[in-house]
Amino acid sequence: MKTDIYQKVTDKIIADLEKGELTWLKPWSAGNMEGRITKPLRHNGLPYSGINVLMLWGAAMEGGYLSPHWMTFKQAIELGAHVRKGERGNPVVYASTITRTEEQGDGTEEERTIPFMKGYTVFNVEQIDGLPAHYYVRPEPIIDPARRIEHAEGFFAATGAMIRHGGNQAYYSGRTDHVQLPVFESFRSPEAYYATLAHELTHWTKHPERLDRDFGRQRWGDEGYAREELVAELGAAFLCADLALTPETRADHAAYIQSWLKVLKEDKRAIFSAAAHAQRAADFLQGFQVRRQTTEGIAA
């Protein structure tokens, strides 16, 4: 890519953190975003994932777009529509590889696969005229709180994770493989409880028998700790979007910001890696829900 997309995205997130803002929570606090917050969607309705979620959430914030739908210039034309003159697109990325044949010291040849990031440009449907009417329908308002809570209860229960309540701390214990939370009634709101649970269950996915995620953490506050906390932050944000929950800023965010800044400033690929790990964790937890629905369908 002509521009260093790693550096561009990282610089934007660093700028937000230096202002005390968390990029992945901004969609919920934006005055221009009405109704339910969802992951950005492709022209065919499939959701974007990983770093593209953060990139397009940010683009929607800056552009004031309410629609979650994005598409390329060509896709708009194929649908009989056109991007308005003067509109600027936003980049999304995907991983690809190239294979090179290299001569070895002994004269033999060996193929080497080299990963790299590719990008293309998409436009929000609010930048496009002439699309079918359903593209312009605004997201439905947030669902009734009682239904949302019931839905979240079922989702998290389906994971089978050991969740204990008591005390005044929220954490995941790798030693005993359980999530510890304060009692439900001690949270400021149901959303705060479920968002915290989403954060800790993202940590729960790192267990060796699940996703086996290890950043080499040695002690509290070191680089490995900061990287894992960033994964849990993004994982919780992705899950909250999927479950129509509104995340709330945790009291310990300020303590983590400096460690996140250090990691991002030293490694421009760190946020891409964290987003990828967070997406895998969210997908892993979503998998339990699919299995639960299948089991319930068979039982019925």
The C-alpha atoms of residue 271 and residue 200 are separated, in whole angstroms, by: 19
Percent of the chain with pLDDT over 90: 56
Which tokens go with 233? Answer: 């932050």
- Looking at the structure, tell me whether residues 271 and 149 fall in a common domain: yes
- Looking at the structure, tell me whether residues 109 and 254 fall in a common domain: no
Give the tens place of pLDDT for each residue, 100-110.
888 777 777 78
Which DSSP state fits 46?
P
At residue 146, the pLDDT reads: 64
The C-alpha atoms of residue 56 and residue 66 are separated, in whole angstroms, by: 12
Structural domain includes residue 126: yes
Listed residues 90, 113, 139: the one ending a domain: 139
- Looking at the structure, tell me whether residues 169 and 265 fall in a common domain: yes
The region that residue 157 occupies, defined by phi over 0 for left and psi between -120 and 50 for alpha, beta otherwise, is alpha
Which DSSP helix (H) or strand (E) runs through 51?
Answer: helix 51-63
- Looking at the structure, tell me whether residues 107 and 253 fall in a common domain: no
Listed residues 80, 108, 139: the one ending a domain: 139
Residues in the chain: 300
- Looking at the structure, tell me whether residues 171 and 101 fall in a common domain: no
Domain that residue 250 falls in: 141-300
- Looking at the structure, tell me whether residues 72 and 110 fall in a common domain: yes
Which tokens go with 70? Answer: 């994005």
Give the tens place of pLDDT for each residue, 117-146.
888 999 999 999 999 999 998 766 655 666
Structural domain includes residue 20: no
Q: What is the mean pLDDT of residues 6-14?
A: 91
Listed residues 104, 139, 174: the one ending a domain: 139
pLDDT above 70 (res 296): no
- Looking at the structure, tell me whether residues 212 and 269 fall in a common domain: yes
- Looking at the structure, tell me whether residues 214 and 158 fall in a common domain: yes
pTM: 0.84
Structural domain includes residue 63: yes
At residue 32, the pLDDT reads: 43
Structural domain includes residue 26: no
Structural domain includes residue 161: yes
pLDDT above 70 (res 274): yes
At residue 143, the pLDDT reads: 56
Structural domain includes residue 197: yes
Structural domain includes residue 23: no
Tell me how many domains the chain contains: 2
At residue 26, the pLDDT reads: 83
- More confident call, 42 vs 254: 42
- Looking at the structure, tell me whether residues 88 and 147 fall in a common domain: no
- Looking at the structure, tell me whether residues 254 and 200 fall in a common domain: yes
- The rounded Cα 113 to chain-centroid distance in angstroms is 28
Structural domain includes residue 19: no
